[in-house]
Amino acid sequence: MPKIDAIQFSCYTELYLFVYLLFLATYVINNVLSIIFFQYTTHDWLLLAVTILTCLLILGALCLLKFSVEWINKTWKVGELEARRNQVLVGLGGTALCGILPRVLVHFVEIEEWTVYFTVIVFTTTAIFFGILYLHTLPRNCKFVYSIHDKVSWALIIPHSIILLITMILGIDLQDWRRSIVIILCHVSFSVMCASSTIEIVKVLRGEFRILEDADDPELSVKMEKVRVIVHKSETDPQLIEPRITMFNYSI
C-alpha cells in the first residue's frame, strides 16, 4: 500500500491526488493573501464566485452519483468485491477524465488568465473530489497488487510518454510563446493524473484489485507476529507480566 510517512493511501492515484491537493492549497493561500491585501478587482471576485459555485455543483453531482452507485449495488445484491471494483472504477475513471479534458481543451480555447485559472481549479478540484469520495473511502482490506516487474504497467507508461511528447510539440507556437508555455505546463501538470489513473484502471480490469482476508493482510500478519513474540517472552520470563501496585510501591 503506498504511503507518505504515516499517511496511507489506497492506490498511487490517491497519493498523487494528495500531492495535487497540496499544490492547490498553496494556490488558495495565495488568493487569500490577495484578498487580505485588497488586490482583488470586481472581475476577480466574479471569477472566484463562479469557480466556487461550479465546484460546489460538481461536488453535489458526485455525491448524488455515489449514492446512485451504492443504491444500484444494494438493489442488485452485488457482491462486496464487485461493489468495490465499481467504486474504484468510477473514482479512477473520473480522475482520468479530469486529466484528459483540460489537455484537450487547452488546444481549442483562447488562452487568457481567467480560462487558465478556471480550468486548473475546477478540474483539479473535481479530481480530488473523485479521490475523496471513491478512493479514500475504501476499506483497508481492499488492496491493489503492485509489482515492479509488471510488464503491462510499464508498457502503458510508454504510450503516455509518447503522447505527452507529441502534444507538447504540437502545442509549440514560435509566434506565441505565452500560449506555448501554457499548453506545455497544462500537459505536464495533468499527465501524471492521466497515467496513474489509466494504469490502475487496467489493473482493476485485469483482476489485480482484491479484498484480502485477515490472514492475507501482510500488515496484520506482522502485528500478530509481534504479539506472538511478546507472549512467548512473557511465558519464559514471568517478570514481563508481573503485576505491581505502583501507587504504594509494593509488588504482589
Q: How far apart are CA 38 and CA 191, in angstroms?
A: 35
Specify the 3-state DSSP secondary structure of 188.
Answer: helix
Average pLDDT taken over every residue of the chain: 83
Tell me, what's the pLDDT at 195?
Answer: 94
Q: How far apart are CA 229 and CA 112, in angstroms?
A: 64
pLDDT-above-90 percentage for the chain? 44
What pLDDT digit, counting tens, does each position of 35-50 carry? Answer: 777 777 888 889 889 9
Domain boundaries of the chain, sorted by first residue: 3-212, 216-252
Tell the residue number behind the cell numbers 503516455, with chain if given.
Answer: 160
Q: Would you tell me the crossing angle of helices 177-205 and 151-170 to the nearest 10 degrees?
A: 160
This prediction's pTM: 0.80
Tell the residue number behind the cell numbers 504511503, with chain if given.
Answer: 3
- Nearest residue to 84 (alpha-carbon basis) of 98, 95, 94, 70: 70
Q: How far apart are CA 9 and CA 4, in angstroms?
A: 8
| C-alpha 214 chain-centroid distance | 25
* Sequence-distant (≥ 6) Cβ neighbours of residue 230 within 8 angstroms: 240
Residue 115 pLDDT class (50, 70, 90 cuts): confident
Helices (H), the chain: 12-36, 42-75, 80-105, 113-130, 151-170, 177-205, 218-236
What pLDDT digit, counting tens, does each position of 129-178 carry? Answer: 999 999 999 988 888 988 888 888 889 999 999 999 998 888 888 788 88
